Structure 1
Amino acid sequence: MPVTEQVGPLRVTVTVAAAAGDCGALAALEDAARREVANQRGGAMLLAIHWPEALGHAGFGRLLDGGAARVWLGAVDGAPLGFALARPLALADGRSLAVVDALYVLPEARGVGLGEALMDEVLAWAADAGAAGVDALALPGDRVTKNFFERYGMTARALQVHRAVEPPPAGGET
């Protein structure tokens, strides 16, 4: 069932993307998100490790049919401008986490409550699913994303570091 909020003159709507007709909009939003992430510090490596290939229309169709992951489509005045993708992750001790794989709003639609509406739905789903917590990623230096998650009481619990290494020169000693 769609959740609709009036934000000033705008109607912000979030729906669980259960229809095959949403896959095209989701794929376009995913493409925009991937382009934006790729240009951020750590973004190219994040994509290479976690999302080497775009889901695209067919991938979102498989997710919607599979039922394990949950996909939300966010709209402002009926135009699809954001999405969220989350999945349960079973832990060794029998508990589970809700992992936010994506939460994205087009830049021109930020600041009107769409991201918040999407996150509210993710948190409600996680609570209903009995998750012990919610995990999401923020890239280094992305203060806007970090601050967004912190407004929801999320805190860093790990810091992953990386160093690129160069292979030895051909024919050189190791």
Structure 2
Amino acid sequence: MKISNLEEFAKGWRGVVYVGLYKGKKVGIKKGKTVKNEFKWLKKLNKYSIGPTVVGFDGRLVYEFVEGERLIDLIERKDKRVKRVILTVLRKMRKMDKLKVNKEEMHNPVKHIFVGRSVKMIDFERCRETEKPKNVTQFCQFLMRKKLVSKKIIKVLKNYKKSYSEKDFKKILEFF
């Protein structure tokens, strides 16, 4: 893939992210040991509008660059969009739970959720298939720590964790 204007953007635990232009559009380029796993999961999750849109893979993961503010920044300044964003993220987490995909790191997603024209999550390199995904419950743990939801939700989360039912998920949404 021919990418121009390549610049280092960020270094993480498992790789390096660059930004550049591909066919006139801003893209993120990820290099590292875990990009193959991330590519595999993003291809699957993109069908459900989850994660950055994959542009290609040539040993590097190339995806449409995710623009926007971090959810944590919206929370800290008490932005009026926080409730809507939380509901959107919970629905995406629910979809991943139904697909039996665990993203990991949703108990502390401060660098993983961006709000722009839409709500996008990044960093899927630790994704794995599991019979007991924890996306919804981990994200709710984060929301409890930030005091965005009452601890009364714990009982409902325990029921959801046992059943993964739509009924129990709707009870979670009622807290928001």
Same fold per TM (> 0.5)? no
Higher relative contact order structure (alpha carbons within 8 Å, sequence separation ≥ 6): 1
Q: How does the TM-score come out when normalised to structure 1?
A: 0.29
Which of 1 and 2 has greater Rg? 1
